Every structure is written in C-alpha cells, then in structure tokens.
A and B are shown apart, each in its own frame.
Chain A
Amino acid sequence: MEQTPTNSIFELEINEEGKSQLRGIAQWGYVNALVSIISLGISIVTSVMLVSRLGENDTSLLASTVISTLLIVIVSLLLNLTLMAAANNIKKGLAGSDQGTFNVGLGKLTTYFRILGILTIIGLVILFLAIVIGLLAGASQGFK
C-alpha cells in the first residue's frame, strides 16, 4: 500500500534555506522557459524559411514539416508557459509571503511535471511500437 503524507499538527517548516532553494528553482525555471520559447520562435522562423524553399512537388515533405512543427509548437508552448507561470507565482509568493500565490505556483510546477510525465508515456509507447514494428519487419525478411 502506498504511503501518503500525514496531516500532522507539527507543520513541515519552509525555513530560510528552503526559501532560498525555491527562489533558485523559480529563477532557473523562468530562464529555462524563456530561453526555450525564444529557441522555439527561432526554430519556427527556420522551418518557415525551409518550407518556402520547397518546390510544389514536395507536398508530402511540406505536410510532414508543417504538422511536426505545429505539434512541437503546441507541446512546447504548453510546457514552457506552465513552467513560466509556476516560476512567477512561486517568486511572487516568496517575495510577498503570500501563501495562496505560493500554492498556485507549486500547483503549476506539479502540472508541469504531470505534462512531462504524460509526454514520457507517449514517448515510451512510440518507442515500444517502433521496436515491435522493427522486429516484425526484420522477422519478415528473415533478419538478413
């Protein structure tokens, strides 16, 4: 049976060191999110430039580039905006000793890890399918 945190009357303390670590997490989380969003913007510009150079005969390549770029944009924005919101709320909560804002920030950080976890599950499923398909293709050709 899995253990869950106890609702003890002796509250777990967030002391000065804990606050300092949380401040660092918020600062670097914000840097991570901001740099990733800028990087995403540059990648979009590069993709658009590459797509504009494709000829009319490359429709399948064009479609796959557009679809993959769109997927990356949606997932990356969702992740990084959540991380940015988490960082901002944690920073504000710590600066103003505002318990509500701080809780919202931690909630957003948990959501960020939840999204990452779900993406990991999707990645694992795709990897598993790729291995199965690869093995089936190899078996059909007698592993030559």
Chain B
Amino acid sequence: MDSITRDHLSNLDLQADNEVKQQLFDASKWTKFISISAFVACAFLVLVAIMGGEVLAEMAGRMMPNEMFRGVKVGFFLGILVFLIAVITFVYYLLFNFSSKVKRALLSENTDLLNGGLRSLKIFFIISGVFSILTLLNSLYKLFLTNS
C-alpha cells in the first residue's frame, strides 16, 4: 500500500516535458552566444593590453581617484588586467559549459549531463552573486565619498 502511494506521488513530480526541453534548448542557444561573445571580447582585451599596455596604465593612473593608482607601473597594471580577464573567461566558460552540456543532454536524454550543466549554471550564478555584492559595496563607498 505504502509503495503504491509512493509511486503515485512520484508520478505527480516534476517532469522535463516538451515545454521544459524547449525552454532549456533556447536558453542553451543564447548562453552559447553570450559566452562566445565574452571569449571574443576577452581576446580583444588581451590584444589591446599587449599592444597598448603603457597607454592604458597611464590612463588608469589619471582616471582612478585613489592616490595608490597614480604613477602605477605598467607590469602591475597588466598583471591586474590579465587576472581580471582570466576570471571573466572562467565565469563565461561555466556558462558555455552549461550550454553545451544541456544541449547534449537534451539530444541524448542523459540526466547526468543535464545535472552537470545545471551545476555549471549554479556556479555561474554564485560567482555573479559575489561580483554583485562587491559592486554594491563599491556603490556604497561612492555614495559615502559623494557625501563627505
């Protein structure tokens, strides 16, 4: 009796029906486009950093309000830039991973691949969340600076 009830309840559970599959397929198409665009933008930034590193470091020194950024060394500036590009590339790699795994999961009806893709998307949102919190702190700092 108990197992029959359990079976009945499991039939009422969520399914990856055709609508869910179509939504996931559309999401995977857009995330692939976004991640590839981000990779291209990062490659472009690397090129700009290599070709015009000195000019960029000078501009950053002039634009940053903080004293510690004035007269900044080119190597130090390029190091920070490369680190930032690496972080951005990693974040968008997660989105690309979600896209390719979910697409393959939908085509091969593979639950493990679907879970792997969803895990990548979760980590993408966790890292984006941390960046959002850092942006919020930066906005608060700017508000404090404007007030003082």
Q: Which residues of chain A have a CB within 8 Å of any CB of chain B?
A: 3-8, 10-15, 17-19, 21-22, 24-25, 28-29, 31-32, 35-36, 38-39, 42-43, 45-46, 49-50, 93-94, 97, 99, 102-103, 106-107, 109-110, 113-114, 116-117, 120, 123-124, 127
The 4 closest A-B pairs by CB, nearest first: A21-B118, A28-B125, A5-B106, A12-B16
Q: Which residues of chain B have a CB within 8 Å of any CB of chain A?
A: 12-27, 30-31, 33-34, 37-38, 41, 44, 105-107, 109-111, 114-115, 118-119, 121-122, 125-126, 128-129, 132-133, 135-136, 139-140, 142-143, 146-147
A39 and B23 contacting across the interface, CB-CB below 8 Å: no
Nearest CB in chain A: distance from B89 CB, A: 15
Residue of B whose beta carbon sits closest to that of A98: B14
A10 and B108 alpha carbons, distance in the complex (Å): 11
A31 and B26 contacting across the interface, CB-CB below 8 Å: no
Nearest CB in chain A: distance from B143 CB, A: 5
Given contacts A35-B132, A46-B142, contact A103 B30 (CB under 8 A): no
B129 and A28 contacting across the interface, CB-CB below 8 Å: yes
B26 and A114 contacting across the interface, CB-CB below 8 Å: yes
Chain A positions within 8 Å of B14 at CB level: 14, 19, 93-94, 97, 99, 102
A50 and B133 contacting across the interface, CB-CB below 8 Å: no
Chain A positions within 8 Å of B110 at CB level: 12
**Other-chain residue from B21, B33, B129, B139 in contact with A5 (beta carbon distance below 8 A):** B21
Main secondary structure of the interface of B (DSSP, over half): helix
Main secondary structure of the interface of A (DSSP, over half): helix
17 contacts between A and B (CB under 8 A): A5-B24, A12-B105, A12-B109, A15-B115, A17-B115, A21-B118, A21-B119, A39-B135, A42-B140, A46-B142, A102-B14, A106-B20, A106-B24, A113-B34, A120-B34, A120-B38, A127-B44
**Other-chain residue from A32, A46, A109 in contact with B27 (beta carbon distance below 8 A):** A109
Chain B positions within 8 Å of A13 at CB level: 15-16, 111
Chain A positions within 8 Å of B115 at CB level: 15, 17-18, 21
Chain A positions within 8 Å of B129 at CB level: 28, 31-32, 35
